[in-house]
Amino acid sequence: MKSAPRYSDQRVGIFVDVQNLYHSAKNLHHARVNYAELIKYLVGDRQLIRAMAYVVKSEGVEPQHGARTEETARGGLRGARPARGSEREAVSVSAAAGAEKVGELSSEAAFFEALEKAGLELRMKDLQIYAGGMKKADWDVGMAVDAIRMSSFLDVVILLTGDGDFLPLVDYLKWGGGRLVEVAAFRRSTSSKLQEAADRFVNIEEVPRAMMKLR
């Protein structure tokens, strides 16, 4: 795998496909992602300009008990079913998070708050419920649009996802925008074409302290 140059004056933007990383960490390693440690590793001595996380917001979910809020926030969603491409079935962040109720905060609010404490800016989308009870949400287009818009003041775009649907975005940012594009995900669940297209691919499995085992 080729490696892109890294310089301390590079301006870095990070875009996190939260559901994609959650499913991979849970299914492959029975673990959660430690976002604070992962971001620290990916940025290195460069300048982090924006770090965005894309999540689905729901309503009326009772808080879960038995897990610490801080650990849950670092690790991502809990108890969700596998996602499939750009039309993945949406998982309620609050129901999946398993966070304790803190004061008057619901588990969803506590999860979102802790993600922010890890250094991530949240982009939320309401859960869509269709006839028959199917629940879906798709952040692929929104995440791609944000990355393109923000690329004008970034030197390096880091995508935290293994979803091959982002391959056109990588190509556009590289060849249309002249940006360096790095991808961080789990190698075994990441599109081989996405790995090859990136200027740098980081296998999360090899990042120290980037995962925490589920209990």
Q: 11-213 in CATH: which number?
A: 3.40.50.1010
Q: Which of 3-17, 57-71, 86-100, 133-147 has the highest mean pLDDT?
A: 3-17
pLDDT of 94 reads 38
Residue type for position 72: T
Which of 151, 170, 188, 202 shows the shortest CA–CA distance to 37?
202
Does residue 43 register a pLDDT over 60? yes
Distance between CA atoms of 162 and 164, rounded to whole angstroms?
6
Tokens of 112: 């979102």
- Chain-centroid distance, C-alpha 143: 10
Residue 181: DSSP 8-state = E
The structural domains of the chain, with segments of one domain joined by +, span: 11-213
Instruction: Report residue 2's pLDDT band, with 50, 70 and 90 as the boundaries.
Output: low
pTM here is: 0.76
